[in-house]
Structure 1
Amino acid sequence: MPIEALLVLVIGGIAGVALLLHLTGRSNLRVLSPDGARAEWLRHFPDDTIVDVTLSHDGHAALLRTETGPGLLWSFGADTVARHLLDFDWLEHPKGMEFYFHDFATPHVLVHLDETERRHWRHLMEPA
């Protein structure tokens, strides 16, 4: 088979799968509930004890306080990503807060928050 035909088949197949996932709703961001955020956090960190969960108004992120400190859970397509807030920086952003992790696997994430949420989340992240 000529390389050009193979290239067209591969590109067409990848585009077809992406289109199919989008049309079936699999590319939408996951919306979290308090119980769903707890379950997802425990899926990532089964040994943690969760003290409380604070969801963003859009439901795409949650700030969790655990016995070992705060953690951030956010939607990544239909899945979630969770990180303990141990080695990170955050900056104000016009749309919310931007978290920069000192980890090459998760460089940064923008969490959409309004001004009231920003103040509340800053308060929850302060060391005890």
Structure 2
Amino acid sequence: MGPHLADAFAHVLHDLEVCAAPIPRIEESDWQTWPGAESAMLGDVDGSGTGVWVDTTASAAERLAMLADQVQDWAVESVRRGTRSNWPPCPAHPANHPLQAVVVDDAAVWRCPRSAEVVAEIGHLVV
């Protein structure tokens, strides 16, 4: 796995773990052929897989938010099979929506999509 993707994964996996969300099986893959891309596949317990990638020409914050958004899609689908489908849950609206991965002031953060309140930097989520 490329260094940009590995670095971003370290942060996103932390946030999955603190929320007790499913942890994907990460498999190296060069499925994304976009110049400057680093990619991998996320495997689920049911045998399905989802491709994720980052653009190495983007800033570190943009790469992190990009990966967090894709892993969030995977996690929501994986968790949907269980009881909760809003990872990571918004602390202000836990039954309504998950937090949103965005870049604010050159930092990749989780924020409430309704109020735009920043909850935590990606990789530093606390439940």
Q: Where is the helix percentage greater, Structure 1 or Structure 2?
A: 1
**Larger relative strand fraction:** 1
- Same fold flag (TM > 0.5): no
The structure with the largest alpha-carbon Rg is: 1
Highest RCO, 1 vs 2 (Cα 8 Å, sep ≥ 6): 2
